Amino acid sequence: MRLTTPNKRRPVVRGEYNRNGYEVWSDGQHVYSAGNHVQDSTQPALREQDRLPLKTIRRFCIKTAREIATEQRGRFGGVERVKEDQ
């Protein structure tokens, strides 16, 4: 007879992005964030020439969320654009 363990629910990992950067969430908990600066993702870009394009921020958000989902043996839940903070 084979013993089975209860099914453990896989976390859903999703991302949110805007022109200021992006955040990744796993089952509602914040797990990662990055800013929009070309050279340093921990800093906000204060000048236009230092900003990443929105398309690039979206691509990084997708890539990071997928990587975190893989690391956590979770499911990638997609990304969405959210309103910029003022």
Q: Taking 60 as the threshold, does the pLDDT of residue 5 lie above it?
A: no
Residue 25 lies in a domain: yes
**Does 2 reside within a domain?**
no
Write the pLDDT tens digit of every residue in 30-69. Answer: 999 999 999 998 888 989 999 999 999 999 999 999 999 9
Here the tokens at position 72 are 């956590």
What is residue 35's DSSP assignment?
Answer: E
Q: How far apart are CA 36 and CA 10, in angstroms?
A: 30
Domain that holds residue 62: 12-81
In a domain, 60, yes or no: yes
Count structural domains, the chain. 1
Question: Which segments of the chain does DSSP mark as H helices, in order?
Answer: 54-71
Whether 5 maps to a domain, the answer reads: no
pTM: 0.86
Nearest in space to 85 (alpha carbons), one of 29, 14, 16: 16
